[in-house]
Chain A
Amino acid sequence: MNQTLDRRRLLATAALGGVVGATALGSLAPEAAFAAEATAVEPGMPDPNFAEGRISKISGNMLLVTGSDTVLHSIRITGGTSIWKLQPTTFDQVAVGDGLYARGVRLPDGTLAADAVWVNIVNLHAHIASVGRNVLHLDHKGQHIVGHVVPRLSAAVYNGTPAVSDLSLLRVGRHVQVLGAWHPDTNEIDIATVYAAA
């Protein structure tokens, strides 16, 4: 049985039925889910099953999103949609003004039935300018970014070792990759993971 096709078909069905909160899709391990995606997009071209932008309106289970290139997207959240906002979360945590990336299945009416939505996610390459109590001041391409350490959630990966909650080994001047969630319309983020080289 092709589990992916079944999942996608169910997802589209759920979207068309306007089902929110259903668990009919069950769950796939994240890596398995992405492994199963068939990609027929020509290299270099836009992916019709992907969207990005900022949420301008939330209506029921629909997100109306204005793309950064001004294209408008209708994104439907279903019971099978995985939502990330600093951590895996639920639809009620999504707000107007949030930025997002979404991947799913494009329905005949142009709506994107979302398989996954990453809200406010950023992946910054930066230098540590200074370190404060529960905060990292980052220089990202000349921009000052304030990175908030979120107790019990923020983690550090030092040279590929397993993620740990101890960020005390981070040093001023070090180059880091910071995965986190942006605070809309500010220069601040909450830190999910800091990757630091040896």
Chain B
Amino acid sequence: MAALRGEVSWFCCGSAWGPCGTAGGGACGTCRSGNYQHAWPNTSDACLAITRPDACGITGMSRRGCGFRHYTTNLCNGARVGTTIADCGPQTDLFCGERTCCGSACGSNRIIDLTPAAYSAIASLSTGLRPCSVDTV
């Protein structure tokens, strides 16, 4: 897969406090906020029918199953983290055309959500959203 450029956010899963308390283990049943994991929009036909990256004109988002590794780079600072698929998401079509930039480094459309442990390894959780690139090596 060629590197895919877009936006990255974070989500909670597994045992959790507050509004995250009902999050559960995600589509793969293994998701935990403290693990280096992520949600991917194309884990199955059922997942893709919900996330619909194609509605935003995104092509080249490969079908990948639970446990597959992706590497996400924060385009604001170059920090990179490797994670495995543990859930279906983000719901890309709900934010079609959204664009996030750090100076001249920009990403459009939500392509990946990281767990808090993974996101906080490359950005502050309080940023909420960052431009990123995602690859497999």
Contact = CB atoms under 8 A, between A and B. Distances in A.
Interface of A: 30-32, 34-37, 39, 41-47, 50-54, 67-69, 82, 84, 99, 101, 103, 116, 118, 120-125, 140-141, 143, 145, 157, 159-160, 175, 177, 179, 182, 184, 187, 189, 192-193, 195, 197-198
A30 to B, nearest CB: 5
Contact of A46 (B16, B32, B91, B98): B32
Contacts, number: 165
Interface string B109-137: 00000001110111111111100000000
Given A35-B77, A116-B124, A197-B97, A124 B16 contact: no
Nearest to A88: B126
Q: A-side binding surface: helix, strand, loop or mixed?
A: strand
Interface of B: 9-12, 14-20, 22, 32-37, 67, 69, 74, 76-84, 86, 90-91, 94-102, 108, 116-118, 120-129
Nearest to B30: A44
B38 to A, nearest CB: 9
A4 to B, nearest CB: 11
Given A46-B35, A197-B96, A34 B79 contact: yes
A32 B122 CA distance: 10
Contacts of A124: 19
Nearest to A31: B77
A184 B77 contact: no
Given A45-B35, A123-B9, A54 B77 contact: no
A198 B97 CA distance: 7
B35 A47 contact: yes
Contacts of B11: 123, 125
A187 B77 CA distance: 35
Contacts of B78: 35
A160 B96 contact: no
B74 A35 contact: yes
Nearest to B116: A101
B125 to A, nearest CB: 5
B120 A195 contact: no
